[in-house]
Amino acid sequence: MTTRVDTDICIIGSGITAILAAERMTEITDADIVIVEAGVRTTPVRERLGKRRRFIDYGENPWTNDHIHDQTGDGLFYRSMNVGGCAMHWDGACPRFSPEDFRQRSIYGVGTDWQLDYEELEPYYFDFEKRVGVAGEAGPPEYDPRSTPYPMPPLPLSYNLKILKRWGEDAGIPFWTQPWAKATTTEHGRAVCRRCDTCHVCPTGAKYTPDLTLDRLINEERVRLVTGTLIRRLKLHSDSDRVSFALGSSYDAPDEAIEFHAKTFVLAAGYAWSPHLLLLSANSRFPDGLANRTGMVGRYMTGHPYVSAQIDLPFESYPGMFSTNSLLSKMFARPGPSEHYLRHDLRIWTSTADRQPRARNDDGSRLFGDQIMEDWRGRTQRSSARVRAYYDVIPDRNSRLSLDVHRKNRWGDPMPKIQFQDAPESLNLRGYTHDTLFRLFERMAEAGNGSVMSTQVSTKMEHPGGGCRMGDDPATSVLDSYGRTHDHDNLFVIGAPTMVSGGCANGTPTFSALSLRSAEVIGREA
């Protein structure tokens, strides 16, 4: 049995980019829009207070149905497959990329220039910030250029962060408040952030989650939502390279097929599942997958690793006071041309490292009663700061997502396998990068008469993207700057897969801004 669904625009995936793009489309066109999601709803706002309590008391996962067990693969950083996607339980950090991220080749002679620059994307950054309600403060213009203030004032700094901000400035580094998608006013109809430090499951709806926008769009009959339906293939017209329909299977009726017929298809399934679907959709005309005439789908997967440190400082502090908030500096994201390519952000959190109550002293002897309190008070007379630097790496052509014939889902479809790889110009500089950042942390510690307690190096690619990178040349890219595939004029890809590089910061504001820009073109053509 086959069920047919007809629409004008079919959006595959329901994460933050899908929902924000759909909202923008509905402001431009009256076209019918259907959003198809493989997962189901997970933990609505009304349930999050209770879920938060069980998370605190028992460590219970508040997002038990946010993934599908047999939809997984090697190298996946996130497994979320649910209505709202990963942004249902993100922390909400919203830093923009720096202008230099878009001009790597022109300025530094490495990597690839994007098709657009910061100035062209900046209005869409602000559009994103308005839609999700970002609270923040602008940094110094030379490091954090903005033409407009944030929609909401920043989250107030705790006593600890005020001290750490002065410490950073004493080290010669300007810091300002990290921008967050957390309400500090009621203008967006959300509760004001109460700084309870459980952003993973915000109990009040102060932190933005995509379901807030989606529910409004559904209630206003501006979009239709189909859940529990995995799109497994995209099918072309028999006489053209245009996509005819998306073929899906329902988890409730796995033997039945569902065909979504549309004029325009928007693939918004995230950094892994979007290129994965294109590869699965191979046919006689495109034997290596749709939009993959030149073999670029799944290549140039990107993200960024980090180096961090715990620093002991002789400042009185109070552990546990709103530790989720952080300070940000983009000073090192905007260097001039140099012999070695190193660009990174810098963040500071208050830390409780070595500041918790303990049952044993440094010499191993047991502590009892008042001794525990005396020891705890003594150790909290000093501050502990966590500093972290996300650094930019140049993705390699062979940093790729491919199909894994050894791991399959219930329908026998091969799952994705991701193998990240830095380009030689980044790989050769890894030792220099780590040493430079270690020296920076030591300099910061000395500025506060403190010491580095420990360091951590992570080469795991956080905030992954790529796999359907944009570009002018079909030989080296999959999409144009609006997300339209070079090979199929009615097929768009939006979100993290479009990223040319990973930058030095969380990619959500950047690929969401790109998606809003794409939505204008899709809406006008509908």
Joined together, the tokens standing for residue 524 give 């006008």
pLDDT at 485: 98
Q: Are 300 and 469 in contact (CB under 8 A)?
A: yes
Question: Would you give the DSSP letter of residue 498?
Answer: G
Look at 17-31, 56-70, 141-155, 232-246 and tell me which has the smallest mean pLDDT: 56-70
Q: What percent of the chain has pLDDT over 70?
A: 98
Has residue 186 got a pLDDT over 80?
yes
Q: What is the pTM of this model?
A: 0.95
Q: State the residue for tokens 């080749």.
A: 105
Has residue 321 got a pLDDT over 70?
no
Q: What is the average pLDDT across 138-158?
A: 95
Q: Between the CA of residue 165 and those of 159, 418, 499, what are the distances in Å?
A: 10, 39, 32
pLDDT at 320: 62
Q: Per-residue pLDDT tens for 414-467? A: 999 999 999 999 999 999 999 999 999 999 999 999 999 999 999 888 999 999
Has residue 500 got a pLDDT over 80?
yes
CB atoms within 10 A of CB 239: 7
pLDDT at 295: 97
Q: Are 86 and 96 in contact (CB under 8 A)?
A: no
Has residue 322 got a pLDDT over 80?
no
The mean predicted confidence, pLDDT, of the chain is 94
Q: What is the average pLDDT across 500-522?
A: 97
Has residue 488 got a pLDDT over 90?
yes
Q: Are 343 and 484 in contact (CB under 8 A)?
A: no
Q: State the residue for tokens 């209505």.
A: 83
Cβ-proximal residues to 15 (8 Å cutoff; 6+ apart), any chain: 84, 85, 86, 87, 210, 268, 269, 270, 495
User: 2-525: CATH homologous superfamily?
Assistant: FAD/NAD(P)-binding domain (3.50.50.60)
**Is beta strand 327-329 parallel, antiparallel or unpaired with respect to 400-408?**
unpaired
Q: What is the average pLDDT across 507-514?
A: 98
- Give the pLDDT band (50/70/90) at residue 355: low
Q: Is the dihedral of CA 268, 271, 274, 278 positive or negative?
A: positive
Has residue 354 got a pLDDT over 70?
no
Cβ-proximal residues to 88 (8 Å cutoff; 6+ apart), any chain: 42, 43, 63, 66, 80, 82, 209, 210, 211
Which of 80, 74, 81 lies closest to 417 in space, CA to CA? 74
Q: Between the CA of residue 141 and those of 334, 384, 506, what are the distances in Å?
A: 11, 30, 20
> 395 forms bridges with which residues in the sheet?
422
Q: What residues does each domain of the chain span?
A: 2-525
Q: What percent of the chain has pLDDT over 90?
A: 84
